Structure 1
Amino acid sequence: MAILCSFAYLGVCMSDQEQERLAALSRYEIMDTEPQEAFDRITRLTKAVLRMPMVLVNMIDKDRQWFLSRQGVSEREVPRRDSSFCIHAIRQTEPLVVTDTQKDERFAQNPRVVGEPKVRFYVGVPLRSREGFNIGTLCSMDTRTRQLTSEQINILRDLGRLVVDELELRLLANADSLTGAMSRSYFHAEAAREIARAKVSGRELSCALIDIDHFKSINDTHGHGVGDLMLQRVVATCKAQLRAADSIGRIGGEEFAVLLPDAPRESALEIVERMRKAVAAMEVEESSRKIGVTVSIGLTTRTDEEDIAPVLKRADAAVYSAKSSGRNRVVYVCDDKSAASDVAA
């Protein structure tokens, strides 16, 4: 059966927002996975509740639409196409309901309306990531006109939220339980994926190592409860300064690593310096006292490394230089043979 849901690719150069949307989709690491019962259960339930022949969980990628789950549809993916239903659905926050496609000028000439499967009705809810980007849709289609009740539309909304909740749960399984940063193992897996992408695209990949200054003293003086809160606040503060494509992982007690895809030296420096300043400005309250903290950051850019270990080793040397130079600063190293340069404090 032919598929109607498609998403227009607007222009040769993607906007920053579209790049961030694609990064949000990529973070779920769901594309090209095997069929999964958790999502198939949702589409089966959608089909039963709405009594429609076609249901999709449709993830909108750069140049294709990939169906995470499907009912009544044979294809697993289709190219992104102009003049589609899903491009309209993904552009809005509310469900898109097209009660009669032949009477809607936006879709009356759609090939999936005038040709097979002769779709007459469409409803789709956007799947909104935690960053606020619509990464796809939960949509249902029929070959006859329909009218949905407000209750049915609300049920579809809830089912769409269940799709996103399931995606988020899968991320949590790979997260550090205290801070929400990536676990060490998942960070290394993500780094391998980013290195593979960098090799294909030819774009630069930078990596930062963040170490909280005098963290042992914070634990000894204020207790581990305050120390844990400080770790949580530092990660949240750093995340707020990162782009959607960036990733942060906890690789040690008070040590975190950040992947900065498509970030050469200058842009990477700008990002990590924002993080350093934001952390230095934050405070944690404990027993009416305000406790501040700083971080030392080592930064480097991948050259031709095949894995993340030598990149992290170089960033670690930069952290050591930052701490030796007085802490609360960013130090950048180019490669294993270059001297560390103190670039911000």
Structure 2
Amino acid sequence: MPVPLPDNEPQRVARLRTMSVLDTVPEPLFDGLAEAAAIAIGAPMAAVNLIDAHRQWTKAGVGIAAGTSYARDEAFCAHAILGKDLLEVPDAQRDERFAANPAVVAENGIRFYVGAPIILSDGLCMGALCAVDRKPRMLCDAQRDVLRALAAAAAQALEMRLGSLQREALMDRIGRLASVGGWMLDLTTNELTWTDETCRLHELPLAYRPSLDEALGFYPPEARVRLREVIERARHGDGDWDLELPLVTAGGRRLWVRAIGNADFGEDGQPYRLVGAIQDISIRRHVITALETSERRFRQLFQYSLGLICTHDHEGVLLSVNPAAARALGYSVGELLGRPLSDFVPPERQQAFRDYLLRIITVGTDAGVLELIAKDGSHRMWQYQNVLDDESDDPYILGHAQDITERFRMERQLRDLSARDPLTGCFNRRYLNELEAEPELRWGCITVDLDHFKQVNDTYGHQRGDEVLVEMARFLRRHLRDRDAVVRLGGDEFLLLLRDADEATTAEVLGRLDAGRAQAPIAFTLGSATFGGGITLDEGLAEADRRLYARRAADRG
């Protein structure tokens, strides 16, 4: 049957195209939502589908290839966007809307479909999060609720993605204005990645991907030797660098650039990549020469800079602050001068700030992220690159930073969204996938299965079942250490993951759980295992599951 169009179709399609998501590459967050839908529904196929003017396009899929386009007139999801709630088709062959659909009449065709509309905050629907099966079936209320929640998460992800793109465009514009580019070197593959501004600085096409040797070739021999030395030291975890060097672009233009870099370290304490920035400082070098004879010019540069600039002594007392830095914290310049920076550092970060002061005095340079409390009580994150000036009689530290508060908040929200169960607040299976790369020495693994949980849902309803799951999650957290994790595997199954736990530690947690059974909202069965070395997380979990079912079989005779 022909698919009707929504009343707001022109506005809806226009909004979809402003999202800049059609025909883009796969992204982990959307892949995770499709995977979660397939697991929750127990269906072989699930997808995040977006409905354009004349087609359905798949952003992410399980059993359905991402990037697939499908005629809108034949798309089930084109019907799903017409309503505000789920479209559930138990048997497509018996539904006059779909009985003649090519995907239904085909051999081994679609029989079951359920789609939850992906509705943005402005009320416009972009598509549907759907699950598909080749046999007729019906969902339970809990599965419907999960699919609704995942569709809401998909809508939030689309809006956050657009916000991120807009911020990236702004940062790229700022980078162009300031002539600051970024780069990243993967120490495993030796693959070098440049930002667009770095490509522009070298007078190369955007998205150009040079080799490391090619990138170093833009520097004269002496500067190239210096860069190779600092990169080699950083490969072995030996410090960061901040150099000013000559550079010749691909077009033959001669520049002076500021090259900054340091290493990111893994859980094993070894560097796994180098990151840094490059800035065209040709003009600044000429300006600095002029500033040596003109204090007035220096004050003007300091006063009107859009960056966050300050100077402080070796105890952290502020000697000067530019207006941009004062505005970022909500103070006037006069309210900040003479106060120690520690007055604005959260209590839990005071030791880290003292460590910074020691490093900057000892090493002469330091870079990182500093958390400060603004006048209104909000927390601001500053990414700084500071140096010690000890050539004068009164040494001081020159600080330069960027306010990355919004980026920090959005990244944290995205991590939480992808790794946490929305009902209980526990971690989810995606969290386990991320742990696979962590080189932990030893793990304790306890599986928890709720006894007769289905009877709770059948007798008291799914709302009470959800309350039991939330209360059980709280009960489990009370019996763990701060560094341990509670993971909801799905349904009525939980996993307690104990870091650096041997058999004695695991047995101690088991004892606390057994002793506290009377405070649990429902009876439960436990299984446990400890593992490390060459044993994977999946193998450890499988052994804990085996012991749980053996325990349950023994309890039930």
- TM-score, normalised by the number of residues in structure 2: 0.32
Larger relative contact order (CA 8 Å, sep ≥ 6): 1
Q: Which has the larger radius of gyration?
A: 2
The two structures have a TM-score, normalised by structure 1, of: 0.49
